[in-house]
Amino acid sequence: MTQTQPASVARGRLTAAQGTALYVGAVLGTGVIALPALAAEAAGPASLLAWLLLVVLSAPLAATFAALGARYPDAGGVSTYARMAFGPRAAAVVGWCFYFAVPPGATAAALFGGAYVEAAIGGGRATVAVTAVLLMAAVTVTNHAGVQLAGRVQLALAGILVAFLLLAVLLSLPHASAGNLRPFAPHGWTAIGPAAALLMWSFVGWEAITHLTGEFRRPARDLPRATTAAVVVVGALYLGVALATVAVLGSAAAGADAPLGELFAVALGGDARFLAAGAALLLTFGAMNAYYAGAAKLGAALGRDGALPGWLTRGSMAGEVPRRSLAVTATLAFLALALVVAAGLGTRPLVLLATGSFITVYVIGVAAALRLLPRRSGAWYAAAATIGVVLFLLVMTGVYLIWPVAVTGAALLYLRLRGAGRG
């Protein structure tokens, strides 16, 4: 079957270093400030195996999307690959699942950051909500100025964050105790699966940058370099922080609202709430910055391709700023935040709702790679090695699959109504 590559567009301006920073920001996001504790609560020290599983999975998964992005650079990202492999309906489903996962995901991320600020200065739910609003506003303004500014901001943030997390791990590990790893699986070995599904939040992001592949100066060269560097950095930091959280904090890790703050408190022997709050804000801004950039580009591409209203099309070309799509993403995120704050919901349901959508994107994206990439190439084998794991993680999402199922139904209904309107 002959595949058609998206039409070539103006060359972008992102460098490999900026791309690495965007990857690190997208993947090494808010999960590192909250999920080590949530995973420890779900599976105890055995949660380390869930972290290891996902780090190992990251390499072939990232390689798969990098190969697709280098071969078919387009703002549609995984949606474009799904269209080329399976047709417009699959493309619409992927696009909608990603686009409408960002608002609840951004809400959870902003609330994670707000919780750290509240732990430092007090103020209860009001502080959390105000911090979340300010984070969303700052990310929107940054992306409104264009992807090149977003890339430069991300490059600076990535260096600070990597240094901060390394410091947290290196200073706290001397206080680790082997006794904190026993019993290793207090909730049974079967708890590793649900823990891995929860931790998938920490590893979504490899697909986010596919929407920006057209913005790279030389996608075929820069994407593999950025991906390789990001996999090494993210994997090492996640495993280090997870090990330190369990081995240093022990049973207290499961109840830690701000595990990074607790690690610094142990390491430095004092109150590290303000330091942890600063790190949380940087991590949150970095993750949201990358996702807003990717979602805004995707929305414009979906408008261009007919999967969303054509009004969103402006900004789909490389070098253009998709301000209309960005406005939709930002508005939906603010609405989601208002709903969550009013209802008093926690972040866990938001994490799993968004994660279910992202894993759905992964399943379809990897399946598309198996059709689009040259058979028996390294990237094709990477996709083949990944498909079973992402299907397993999809099943482990459980009841929260209701969100991607609902979004899928809405996408197909939109295409049907649009076709009927034209007829």
pLDDT band at 234 (very low <50, low <70, confident <90, very high): confident
- Single out the residue of 341, 350, 290, 334 nearest to residue 105, CA to CA: 350
Contact between 141 and 321 under an 8 Å Cβ cutoff? The reply is no
Average pLDDT over residues 115-143: 88
Between 401 and 423, where is the model more confident?
401
- CA 267 to the chain's CA centroid: 29
Number of domains the chain is built from: 1
Average pLDDT over residues 198-212: 69
Among 72-86, 155-169, 325-339, the least confident range: 155-169
pLDDT number for residue 135: 93
| Any domain includes 28 | yes
pLDDT number for residue 152: 63
Per-residue pLDDT at 325 exceeds 80: yes
| Any domain includes 374 | yes
pLDDT number for residue 3: 45
Between 151 and 57, where is the model more confident?
57
Domain that includes residue 352, residue range: 18-416
Per-residue pLDDT at 193 exceeds 90: no
Q: Is 300 helix (H, G, I), strand (E, B) or coil?
A: helix
| Any domain includes 12 | no
pLDDT number for residue 422: 58
pLDDT band at 210 (very low <50, low <70, confident <90, very high): low
- Single out the residue of 283, 319, 276 nearest to residue 300, CA to CA: 319
| Any domain includes 1 | no
Average pLDDT over residues 104-111: 87
| Any domain includes 63 | yes
Give 61-102 pLDDT, tens digit per residue. 888 888 887 788 776 778 889 999 999 899 899 889 988 988
Q: How far is CA 155 from CA 10, 32, 106, 158, 282, in A?
A: 23, 18, 20, 5, 12
Per-residue pLDDT at 331 exceeds 70: yes
Give 409-420 pLDDT, tens digit per residue. 999 999 988 875
Per-residue pLDDT at 4 exceeds 60: no
| Any domain includes 2 | no
| Any domain includes 126 | yes
Percent of the chain residues topping a pLDDT of 70: 84
Half-sphere exposure of 258 (CA within 13 A, CB side): 26
Per-residue pLDDT at 48 exceeds 80: yes
Per-residue pLDDT at 183 exceeds 90: no
DSSP characters for 98-153?
HHTTHHHHHHHHHHHHHHHHHHHH--HHHHHHHHHHHHHHHHHHHHHT-HHHHHHH
User: Taking all residues of the chain, what is their mean pLDDT, rounded to a whole number?
Assistant: 80
Between 27 and 176, where is the model more confident?
176
Among 10-14, 16-20, 155-159, 340-344, the least confident range: 10-14
The dihedrals phi and psi of 269, each to the nearest 5 degrees, come to: 70, 30
Per-residue pLDDT at 146 exceeds 70: no
| Any domain includes 5 | no
Per-residue pLDDT at 214 exceeds 80: no
* Domain CATH for 404: 1.20.1740.10
